[in-house]
Copies of this chain bind each other. A is one copy, B any other.
Amino acid sequence: MDEKDIQILATIAREGTASPDKIEEAIGIPKSTVHYRLNQLRESGVIENDLYDIDLEKVGLSITLISEVWAEFGEGYHDTVGEKLADVEGVNQVYFTMGATDFVVIAHVANRESVESLVEDYESIDEIERTSSKFVITTVKDEPNPLNDFEIETLVETLTE
């Protein structure tokens, strides 16, 4: 993970594609070199696969629900309970957090009925004590690629420190 890798990753984020051609065009590193680096990054697990940025509204998953979930304490329960939450259909993100709240869960569903069953699914998990959910009115930002939030120079600075 040197500066060249970060440049490539940042370009992928910015251009929205991992095409060696496009990356060469954007930052001047020959496409065969880019290809070589991309393979390294794949092998070392830094990047996983291609995917698509989908407009949830247009696809019909217009409801976003953010839930705080409290669970009993127990050996490795943040793993087992976390997995159970992750397995609920519609659940996109599961964070296990420090402090009073145990989990933060974000889910996308199509309609009100799905919201009901979602919360029921959470609360039917044995170790779960309590949940509290917020409806999202507007998604101001939802950037699938976190690197896109940074300037390339900032990234190179902070990540090579």
Residues of chain A having any CB pair with chain B under 8 Å: 1, 9, 12-13, 15-19, 44-56, 58-61, 64, 66, 78-79, 82-83, 85-86, 89-99, 101, 103-104, 107-108, 110-111, 114, 134-147, 149-151, 154, 158-159, 161
Contacts and interface: CB of A to CB of B under 8 A. Distances in A.
Nearest to A42: B52
Given A60-B158, A158-B110, A89 B17 contact: no
Contact of A16 (B50, B82, B111, B147): B50
A154 B89 contact: yes
B98 A137 contact: yes
A52 B53 contact: no
Nearest to A133: B99
B90 A149 contact: yes
Contacts of A93: 139, 141-143
Number of copies: 2
Consensus secondary structure, chain A interface: mixed
A135 B99 contact: yes
Contacts of A56: 146
Contacts of A66: 95, 97, 104
A72 B94 CA distance: 29
14 contacts: A44-B58, A47-B55, A49-B52, A50-B50, A51-B144, A89-B154, A92-B141, A94-B141, A98-B137, A99-B134, A108-B146, A110-B158, A110-B159, A111-B158
